[in-house]
Structure 1
Amino acid sequence: MGIIDNKKKLDIQCPQCEGKFSKMILELKKPNVKCPHCGVSFDTSEFKKGMDHVERSIKEFGQNLKDIKLDIKL
C-alpha cells in the first residue's frame, strides 16, 4: 500500500445533478467518473494532480524527517 489508501472511499457530489455518491480514491484517479444518478461523466484530472502532489509532499516530508534524525545522531 502506498502513502494514501487508494481503497478509501470519498463522498463526492455530481457537478451536474448535485447527487451525492461515494467512490474510492483509486477510481477518482481515472480520467473521468460517471455519476450513478444522472449518467454524466466528469473530468477528474485535477483531483489526480492534487493527489499526486499530496503524495509527493508527504514523501518529501518523510525524507526530511529522516535527514533531521541523521543530523541529530551525528
Structure 2
Amino acid sequence: MQNYNRNNKILITGGAGFLGSHLTEKLLKEGNEVLVVDNFFTGTKQNLAHLLGNPNLEVMRHDVTFPLYVETN
C-alpha cells in the first residue's frame, strides 16, 4: 500500500459496513478526519458505535447512486 499524508480529510463510502468500519477506525487512529457515507442497507451504526464520540468522525446517511458534493483532500 502506498504511503499517504496523515491529517487528511478522507471519504469512506460504505463506512458502516464490516470492512469500512475497520478502515474508519484505523484512519482515525492515525489522526485523520473521516467522513463516512453509508445508506445503512447492509451496514449498521453499531459497527461505528465505539467511534461516534470522536470529533474527527462525521457520519452521513446517503445513497451514493445520487450525487454528493463534499470536500476532501
TM-score (norm 2): 0.25
**Going by fraction, where is helix more abundant, 1 or 2?**
1
TM-score (norm 1): 0.25
Q: Which has the larger radius of gyration?
A: 1
